[in-house]
Amino acid sequence: MSITAQSVWNNCLEFIKDNIQPQAYKTWFEPIKAVKLTDTSLSIQVPSKFFYEWLEEHYVKILKVSLTKELGETAKLVYIIKMENTYGNKQPFTEKIPSANRGALKSQDVDVPLNNKSPELRNPFVIPGIRNVKIESQLNPNYSFENFLEGDSNRLARSAGLAVANKPGGTSFNPLLIFGGVGLGKTHLAHAIGVDIKDKYPEKTVLYISAEKFTQQYIDAVKKNNRNDFIHFYQIIDVLIIDDVQFLSGKTGTQDVFFHIFNHLHQNGKQVILTSDKAPVDMQDIEQRLLSRFKWGLSAELQNPDFETRVSILKNKLYRDGVEMPDDIIDYVAKNIKSNVRELEGAIISLIAQSSFNKKEITIDLARVIVEKFVKNTKREVSIDYIQKVVSDYFQMDIDTLQSKTRKRHIVQARQLAMFFAKKFTKASLASIGSQIGKRDHATVLHACKTVDNLSSTDKQFRKYVEDISKKLSV
């Protein structure tokens, strides 16, 4: 029987599988490919630097044990990092990095630093003394890691956040982009990273700012002829956290200035943390060069929490508030509110409030009433206005643009989608839909509905628009 890279690796995997959680195995080991075996050295291919760092940090021991079993005491592991080709160029970006020498695997490994940025570089523009200016971090201490409960839905983002907090600017997660739907904890996690950094490195300048406020500041600076001061201010930050970067869509001036600030910080080994309600691939009207920067580090998604996580979030909240609540009620709330942690918290808060104000005992019936009210309250009525709002928000244009007479393709498509959904989700007539969406006639609406039907069966991107918007309209 001949020994191949594959056979050696399969044996390792068998051993590893027996010794770690199934989910972890699936996440961290299934994507690995064994590519080469020479003597006692096995090369495995991993999909990113993050992967490599994660394996080194968490699984190097088990890797060593399993590989030594297979190849003896001189066993050596070589990682080959093969990143996804994300920029549309055909040439995949490949890099070969020997396993860092931690004495874990016997080898003549060289420790290749992953980070080739020198943190020592100084900003030549910084006015002497300005470092002493105290910059308020704008962080909310209540948003801590401790309070950010872990679950499958957020494990990757949370751990990456912790890694960044331990070594700001010193990991390959730079920038760290946290993305996910409304109310899933992006803002909380972004603050937690900042709070933790401030705790561990009090001398570091950390700044949290929403993209909206950043934009406003920039507009003001331009008005007051202070553009350079604005840029210099941001260039002295050690850890810059920008929340909801999707807000920069279509704002080319702000994107431009952010691009320069970003480059400066990144080159100087400073940490950038971003949040967004979309993955980089789904961001519209963000310049390509900025998008490609977003993809330099790690994009980690926050997903909808599963039932167990929802229960632990509720229990944690109750515990912190010093309130006791029967398990069946907690289960009931967790079962019925699924897609948004903010709503989950909202429901439990009103439940507590109801019972304490009205001195009512918390019963399943009370929970049912409140959850129902809560779910109903958050359900928006589907009107043609609302549809136009959702569609124009989705494409990051305003309603006036959507209704305008322009023939620009993406605007026409947005308008047609609005008409299509108005037909689908309301009882309004074609004529009435037309008159409300930019004063068009019924034939235009009919044509729009047909076009959307056609396009969604032929154009994959377009079908995704339809699916995304349907989802938004049916929550």
**What residue numbers does the annotated binding site cover?**
183, 185-187
Between the alpha carbon of residue 145 and those of residues 46, 200, 292, 328, 413, the distances in Å are 28, 13, 29, 27, 42
Which amino acid would we find at residue 168?
P
Selected range binding ligand ADP among 22-30, 184-192, 290-298, 394-402, rule: CB under 6 A: 184-192
* Contact of 241 with 193, CB cutoff 8 Å: yes
Number of H helices, E strands in the chain: 20, 9
Element (H, E) at 393: helix 384-394
Contact status: 271 vs Mg ion (CB under 5 A): no
Coil vs helix vs strand at 185: coil
* Contact of 409 with 403, CB cutoff 8 Å: no
Contact status: 187 vs Mg ion (CB under 5 A): yes
Tell me how far, at minimum, the Cβ of 143 lies from Mg ion, in Å.
10
185 versus 269: smaller Cβ distance to ligand ADP? 185
The correct pick among 42, 165, 209, 341 for binding ligand ADP (CB under 6 A) is 341
The correct pick among 82, 188, 293, 423 for binding ligand ADP (CB under 6 A) is 188
* Contact of 362 with 325, CB cutoff 8 Å: yes
Contact status: 310 vs ligand ADP (CB under 6 A): no
151 versus 185: smaller Cβ distance to Mg ion? 185
CB nearest Mg ion: which residue? Answer: 187
The correct pick among 16, 34, 97, 184 for binding ligand ADP (CB under 6 A) is 184
Residue 247 binding: pick among Mg ion, ligand ADP, none (C-beta 5-8 Å cut-off by kind): none
Q: What is the C-alpha to C-alpha distance for residues 231 and 12, in angstroms, rounded to an integer?
A: 51
Selected range binding ligand ADP among 19-27, 47-55, 148-156, 247-255, rule: CB under 6 A: 148-156
* Contact of 193 with 154, CB cutoff 8 Å: no
Main-chain phi, psi angles of 316, to 5 degrees: -60, -45
Residues in 46-75 at the binding interface with ligand ADP, rule: CB under 6 A: none
The correct pick among 148, 173, 374, 394 for binding ligand ADP (CB under 6 A) is 148
Q: What is the C-alpha to C-alpha distance for residues 288 and 280, in angstroms, rounded to an integer?
A: 10
DSSP state of 132: G
Measured CA angle at 41 (ends 35, 44), to 5 deg:
30
Strands 94-98 and 76-82: antiparallel
Contact status: 147 vs ligand ADP (CB under 6 A): yes
Give me 258's structure tokens. Answer: 């952010």
Residue 297 binding: pick among Mg ion, ligand ADP, none (C-beta 5-8 Å cut-off by kind): none
Question: Could you check whether the bond before residue 175 is cis, i.e. omega within 30 degrees of 0?
Answer: yes
The correct pick among 342, 424, 442, 447 for binding ligand ADP (CB under 6 A) is 342
212 versus 398: smaller Cβ distance to Mg ion? 212
27 versus 312: smaller Cβ distance to ligand ADP? 312
Contact status: 187 vs ligand ADP (CB under 6 A): yes
210 versus 436: smaller Cβ distance to Mg ion? 210
84 versus 393: smaller Cβ distance to ligand ADP? 393
Coil vs helix vs strand at 387: helix
CB nearest ligand ADP: which residue? Answer: 185
Contact status: 182 vs ligand ADP (CB under 6 A): yes
Residue spans of alpha helices (H) in 99-251: 155-166, 186-200, 211-223, 227-235
313 versus 433: smaller Cβ distance to ligand ADP? 313
Selected range binding ligand ADP among 116-124, 180-188, 290-298, 398-406, rule: CB under 6 A: 180-188
Which spans of this chain sit near ligand ADP (rule: CB under 6 A)?
147-149, 154, 180, 182-188, 313, 341-342, 345
